Structure 1
Amino acid sequence: MTDHVPAEPTGRIVLLTASHRVAPGLLSWPAWQTLRAADRVLCADPEHPQLPYLREAGVEVAQEVPDAQGLVEACAGGRTVVVIPGGEGDQRLTDGLARLAGSGRVAMPGLELLPGSYDLPGARLLDLVQVMDRVRRECPWTSRQTHEGLVKYAIEEAYELVEAIEDGDREELREELGDVLLQVVFHARIAEEHAEEPFSVDDVAGSLVEKLIHRHPHVFGDAEALTPEDVSAHWQRTKAVEKQRESVTDGIPLGQPGLALAAKLAGRARAGALAVELPRGEGIGYELLELAARAEEAGVDPEAALRAAARAYRDAIRAAEGVATP
């Protein structure tokens, strides 16, 4: 009878990854525990951003990563080897490990992928800012654009977003939101180059955060708002104090579509409890003004209502032509 000889422990390989969007050194507690307990920590990239922080924490890192066979042998006896990816040989190493495992001739160590840090919500916005910066510097067309020259694109993208919402097309909605976001990032990047009053996308976002917090004391403070009407009233009061406006009409862009402009004016007058009679006169303009005011009072967006009716009219025209509706 032959005595059973227990197999030698094969150890484990830990691939420690970290998001490039998170500051180096900000690793999870499990990652630090694994690094401190490992028998060896390997990294082939001498310029890896994590290295200074690991050394500062007392983690010894060898500046080499053996091939797949050597890595398996390094785990013999139950040892744990942590590999920090980042070198050019990462793909060759993982391919080599896969081949060894598939051969069935090698007792493979355990292979574990350990994320050392995770992207926070909004992390891809950092990528967007970096890409926009490079495109602004290197693209012949983009590098010449100005705020004024991009105005028409901002208007077009806003209308295309409205169309995607009204169509209920989720894929199109996501794309059009991206196009609108591009306009914001593009303008903010151009603004960085202003000689006297530069600002960045961080300044834009920072101002927006402050505004949202200040105008939502029922969320971030002690105020109460039980209904959407309460929120709207507080919002308008806060804006009036912030802007120090003399009139409820201040801040209404006169360049917006006519029906939307008329409804906005009527809404401001109603919110301010101003008993202002609609001007009377001859012509279709005054009739449209009255319709827009009626729509606003009834809680109907006159622009959206007209677009819906126009779409129905378009469909009727196409039906008369024998053309299918898209």
Structure 2
Amino acid sequence: MTTEAPVAPGRIVLLTASHRVAPGLLSWPAWQTLHAADRVLCADEGHPQLPYLREAGIGVEITAPTAQELVDACVGSRTVVVLPSGEGDQALTDGLARLAGSGRVQMPDLELLPGSYDLPGARLLDLVQVMDRIRLECPWSSQQTHKGLAKYGIEEAYELVEAIEDGDRDELREELGDVLLQVVFHARIAEEGREEDGAEPFSVDDVAGTIVEKLIHRHPHVFGGESAETPDDVKEHWLRTKAIEKQRDSVTDGVPLGQPGLALAAKLAGRVRTAGLTVPLPAGEGIGYELLALAARAEASGTDPEAALRAAARAYRDAIRAVERHAG
């Protein structure tokens, strides 16, 4: 009496690829598996990988197998690669899980093979795509301008500072995203070139490219032949290269006058100190001149007067609430 040898169950490979990586840029293990597979299946005839697989001589069957059909296709030690298509993938994986849990089916080996991975910063591409669609389809967003959004940039920056001062990391992550949104939103508007007649459009890639070039140029101790041993050395490099780039007539050029008063006073005092100038504080009566002197003194001692005043104000707020609770 002879016994039949058990039928080898084979292997199912679910090949995934990041939509943020150009189609065709697959890992070497992915290409090896595709070339060695007995069958390659895909339910989506518009799958972005298909042209590149066919160019590589890999035959792809456009079909949406059920879980049982997929298991049957693997009988006899056969390897079947499935390109997930998005729609229907959940039903297929759920079906495979049910078959495995039933205990009535000899299941093939199941492998999830990443064909490509996201690089750091890849989700920024998602943000750009989402912003593009919102700009086109949202009645409010499609009408926004640089000037109309300006106030939100200020608000988001202050909320970011508040999250930092609170030490709330969850809030910090959210507020950083809100600030990033403002950057991408403005860049998307600028790409259209609608606001100013004759203005040269620019995109978020141009924005990123500009800051990359600036960072490289202003860090010769990192990307060039110069050296910097201390933070003061780095600041000196930064100020020197910035002065050459801007060709400014005054150390006050480029200081935004619209910033809060204490921060403005400290910034001006810092510019004077860094330039080695001797400029007496203007004499005058009133609280403004007293605050100017306090701001200059704070800057000279390495204290941010704006942050110091905010900290004191927050302590004052807490004291007010304590009194309110006691009187409540």
> TM-score, normalization: structure 1?
0.96
- State the SS of the aligned residue for 1:262: helix
Whole-angstrom CA distance in 1 between matches of 2:259 and 2:218: 25
Whole-angstrom CA distance in 2 between matches of 1:323 and 1:107: 71
Q: 1:87-236 residue pairs with structure 2 within 5 A? A: 88-195=87-194, 196=198, 197-236=200-239
Q: Which runs of 5+ in 2 are unaligned?
A: none
Q: Which runs of 5+ in 1 are unaligned?
A: none
Whole-angstrom CA distance in 2 between matches of 1:323 and 1:198: 59
Whole-angstrom CA distance in 1 between matches of 2:213 and 2:150: 26
Whole-angstrom CA distance in 2 between matches of 1:322 and 1:31: 65
**Cα 1:187–1:76, aligned 2, differ >3 Å: closer, same or farther?**
same
Q: Which amino acid in 2 is paired with 1:82?
A: V
1:295 CA displacement: 0.6
Q: 1:29-40 residue pairs with structure 2 within 5 A? A: 29-40=28-39
- State the SS of the aligned residue for 2:12: strand
1:90 CA displacement: 2.0
Listed one character per residue, the Cα deviations across residues 88-109 of structure 1 (whole Å, up to 9, x for unaligned) are: 3322221221111111111100
The answer for the alignment partner of 1:42 in structure 2 is 41
Listed one character per residue, the Cα deviations across residues 234-261 of structure 1 (whole Å, up to 9, x for unaligned) are: 1011110111111111100011011101
The answer for the alignment partner of 2:247 in structure 1 is 244
**Cα 1:43–1:300, aligned 2, differ >3 Å: closer, same or farther?**
same
Listed one character per residue, the Cα deviations across residues 73-96 of structure 1 (whole Å, up to 9, x for unaligned) are: 111111111000106332222122
Listed one character per residue, the Cα deviations across residues 14-36 of structure 1 (whole Å, up to 9, x for unaligned) are: 00000111100000111011111
**Pair 1:279 & 2:282 matched:** yes
Whole-angstrom CA distance in 1 between matches of 2:138 and 2:185: 13
Q: 2:303 aligns with which of 300, 307, 310?
A: 300
- State the SS of the aligned residue for 2:201: coil
- State the SS of the aligned residue for 2:263: helix
Q: Which amino acid in 1 is paired with 2:239?
A: Q
- The alignment's C-alpha RMSD in Å is 1.5
> TM-score, normalization: structure 2?
0.95
1:5 CA displacement: 5.1
Aligned length: 323
- State the SS of the aligned residue for 1:192: helix
The answer for the alignment partner of 1:19 in structure 2 is 18
Higher mean displacement: 86-95 or 104-113: 86-95
User: Percent of aligned positions with the same letter in both sequences?
Assistant: 80
Higher mean displacement: 245-254 or 66-75: 66-75
The answer for the alignment partner of 1:315 in structure 2 is 318
- State the SS of the aligned residue for 1:177: helix
Q: Which amino acid in 2 is paired with 1:184?
A: V
**Cα 1:4–1:280, aligned 2, differ >3 Å: closer, same or farther?**
farther
